[in-house]
Amino acid sequence: MAWDFSTDPEYQEKLDWAREFVRTKVKPLDYVWPSDQFKRPYADEVRAIVGPLKQEVRDHGLWATQLGPDLGGQGYGQLKLALLHEVIGQSRWGASIFGTMAPDTGNAEILAAYGTEDQKAEYLEPLLGGDIVSCFAMTEPAGGADPSQFTTRAVRDGDEWVITGDKYWASHARWAEFLIVMAVTDPDAPLTSRMSMFIVPKGTPGMTFVRQTGLWGETPDDGAHALIEFRGARVPADSILGAPGEAFAVSQTRLGGGRLHAAMRAIGDCQKAIDMMAERALSRRTKGQLLADKQAVQMDLANSYAQLAQFRLYVLYTAWQYDQCHDWRQVRKDVSAIQILVGSVIHDIARRAVHMHGALGISNELPLMSILHGGEIQALTDGPTEVHQVVLSKLLLRDYTAGDPVWPSEFLPHRREQARKDLGLV
């Protein structure tokens, strides 16, 4: 029997190095360039600092650790990645410096599995190197994230595919070297074989950026989530990823991991909020007492610790499960459950931290409102909470069968009668 919660000493040394590295060298980027981690090309002064930091990560064997050696990673697996993400999740720049930034990691896995050798050379290698960023363009203005409502079409015309339709919330498209676009290729097919995935290079004629939507609190110029019109945009026939109709299978290459990776990073944000609460409680006085001596503050700290500890163990357990089977479908229940929890865990902990800091907590001089807002983003990213609740419920019910519609199987009068028979008392 193996049931072990310890980290091997060699990897713990790497985590300890990463924690100090993030604290002293990566977090300063958050304060100077808080929104530049996705922008390409880097400004010269950014490149001069970021490049050497990425090289330090490579030198310590922690670059893109979830990927195999053939893709430039260490092949450490999801569990070790989860432990690392707890550290790098405390910095906005962390995922970029360590080569685990979404959506690039998921798109890299798609290219590795389905791309041609030429596509890998042109896009995968610079993507893995952190030299370019990419975009995953799936959702639509009317259909949202519901594939059954998608109307963007891709029609084969000789040696090309012609794409027509609209995509919305195409994150980082404005800086992306290429987009992976989901489009309907057979509208009469069953939903799961109706669509296909395509590589669309930046600057493709017929692809127009209508506007860039920003997140709450951002200025209009900061928007990074594009509304894109495709009007007869043509791409070569080999731009399709996988066979026609395989978009669902292709997307699962990235979605399961992407959801879990986001939860891993959320642990770091929540721990930061708890650390800030603890410092505030020991530093601030009101009505003649430290906040730490107030019962309400003590309860907030205790509840936050307990909530994060439970969530963290669930994420680690799910990561461990994947490492045993290497099939996201087998851990789908737990990934959906984590996606249900992540938004509320961030919200609850961050809100307590905001209140403990008073007016300063809601200001732009602390990161707490950004963390709180991140909880709402997480509750919608890669499928809203409500969709995952429905999915999880259906998956759970598959393991059960119906009983008597009047008397449940645990109806005590029947149980007592049967027990007496089994014990020879009748």
Q: At 216, is the secondary structure helix, strand, or coil?
A: coil
User: What does DSSP assign to residue 115?
Assistant: -
pLDDT for position 128: 85
Alpha carbon distance 273, 280 (integer Å) = 10
Alpha carbon distance 282, 295 (integer Å) = 13
| Long-range contacts (CB closer than 8 Å, 24 or more residues apart) made by 57-60 | 57/21, 57/97, 57/98, 57/99, 60/14, 60/17, 60/18, 60/21
pLDDT for position 210: 96
pLDDT for position 376: 96
Per-residue confidence in pLDDT tens, the chain, 426 aa: 567 888 999 999 999 999 999 999 999 999 999 988 888 888 899 999 999 999 999 999 999 887 777 777 788 889 999 999 999 999 999 999 999 888 898 898 899 889 989 999 899 989 988 889 999 999 999 999 899 999 999 999 999 999 999 999 999 999 999 999 999 999 999 999 999 999 999 999 999 999 999 998 888 778 899 999 999 999 999 999 999 999 998 887 777 788 898 999 999 999 999 999 999 999 999 999 999 999 999 999 999 999 999 999 999 999 999 999 988 889 999 999 999 999 999 999 999 999 999 999 999 999 999 999 999 999 998 889 999 999 999 999 999 999 999 999 999 999 999 999 999 998
C-beta of residue 252 within 8 angstroms of C-beta of residue 328: yes
* Residue 281: partners with Cβ closer than 8 Å, 6 or more residues away: 290, 291, 292, 297, 301, 356
Alpha carbon distance 251, 247 (integer Å) = 6
Q: Which homologous superfamily does the CATH classification assign to the domain defined by 249-397?
A: Butyryl-CoA Dehydrogenase, subunit A, domain 3 (1.20.140.10)
Sequence ranges of the domains in the chain: 9-101, 134-241, 249-397
Q: Which of these CATH numbers, 1.10.1740, 1.10.540, 3.40.1350, 2.40.360, describes 9-101?
A: 1.10.540
The secondary element (H helix, E strand) that includes residue 226 is strand 225-236
pLDDT for position 273: 98
Task: Determine the Cα angle at 306 with ends 300 and 308, to 5°.
Answer: 100
How far from chain centre, in Å, is Cα 13?
26
The secondary element (H helix, E strand) that includes residue 374 is helix 368-378
The secondary element (H helix, E strand) that includes residue 154 is strand 153-157
Task: Determine the Cα angle at 374 with ends 88 and 33, to 5°.
Answer: 55
Length of the chain: 426
The secondary element (H helix, E strand) that includes residue 109 is helix 104-114
Fold of 134-241: Butyryl-CoA Dehydrogenase, subunit A; domain 2 (2.40.110)
C-beta of residue 62 within 8 angstroms of C-beta of residue 15: no
* Residue 87: partners with Cβ closer than 8 Å, 6 or more residues away: 15, 18, 19, 22, 94, 268
* Residue 167: partners with Cβ closer than 8 Å, 6 or more residues away: 137, 138, 139, 140, 152, 181, 226, 227, 228, 230
pLDDT for position 1: 56
Strand partners, 65: none
